[in-house]
Amino acid sequence: MVQLQNQDPLNPMEDKEFIAQMAQFTSLEQMTKMASSFDKFIEFQKSNTLSSYVGWIGKNVEYEIITKNEDEEGNELDPTIETGSGKIESIANKGDIIELHLNNGKVIYQDEITKVQNQYDSSDENQLTIASQMIGKLITWVNEDEEPIETTVQSVQMKNGKVQYELEDGTLISGNQIIKVTKQ
């Protein structure tokens, strides 16, 4: 715009040049917006990565740590392989990697996990604890007329040894009626 305002009236810019410059400015603006969106996406992925491992806290895991070895001359030797197991006590995000802190003091990384053991306990308390993770989640459930309904889980309870989910309107449903769960 400044260029248009300050151009020489005796030698005006040609339409083709002006259109080409406008197209370049538009492309540059779109690339800048895309780069900004991509940066936001990367930050979201980093924060989402940590939350994807939260379910592993309290689980027993087996791991394998492979350490490369070299002699004094820099020749590659057989690697050292350390295997072990432990229960995950906490998780930490360290840039692009996730640290898993075990109950034995060992710190391992997500790519060293070879097995996650589900310590399923069928006790009512454990079922209720697991179900409580649904509180506040947006769900879609199917009623007796096979109609999908979207609502939020307000609470969970045990009745006759079965978990029931209480919805916003007070309706109680079972887990097998839920067809979709969305993070709100």
Q: What is the pLDDT of residues 64-95, one digit of tens each?
A: 999 999 999 999 999 999 999 999 888 887 76
Q: What angle do CA 117, 48, 119 make, to 5 degrees?
A: 15
- Give one DSSP letter per residue of 61-77, joined into a string: EEEEEEEEEE-TT--EE
41 located within any domain: yes
Amino acid at 146: E
Tokens 């259109």 correspond to 19
Domain that residue 146 falls in: 124-182
Q: Give SS3 for 102.
A: strand
Alpha helices in the chain (DSSP H): 2-5, 15-53, 124-131
CATH code for position 157: 2.30.30.30
pLDDT at residue 10, rounded to an integer: 67
Q: Determine the Cα–Cα distance for residues 169 and 164; give it in Å rounded to an integer.
A: 14
Q: Determine the Cα–Cα distance for residues 170 and 142; give it in Å rounded to an integer.
A: 15
Query: Are residues 104 and 155 located together in one domain of the fold?
Result: no
2 located within any domain: no
Helix (H) or strand (E) holding 165: strand 162-167
Please state the domain count of the chain.
Answer: 3
Tokens linked to 119: 């310590």
**CA 42 to the chain's CA centroid:** 11
Instruction: State percent of the chain over pLDDT 70.
Output: 79
Query: Are residues 88 and 106 located together in one domain of the fold?
Result: yes
Confidence of residue 178 (pLDDT cuts 50, 70, 90): confident
Q: Is the pTM of this model over 0.85?
A: no
Confidence of residue 108 (pLDDT cuts 50, 70, 90): very high
Q: How many residues does the chain have?
A: 184
Query: Are residues 41 and 66 located together in one domain of the fold?
Result: no
For the stretch 113-149, pLDDT in tens is 888 886 555 555 677 778 888 888 899 999 989 899 9
CA torsion angle 156 159 161 166 (round to 10):
-20
Query: Are residues 42 and 17 located together in one domain of the fold?
Result: yes
88 located within any domain: yes
pLDDT at residue 46, rounded to an integer: 58
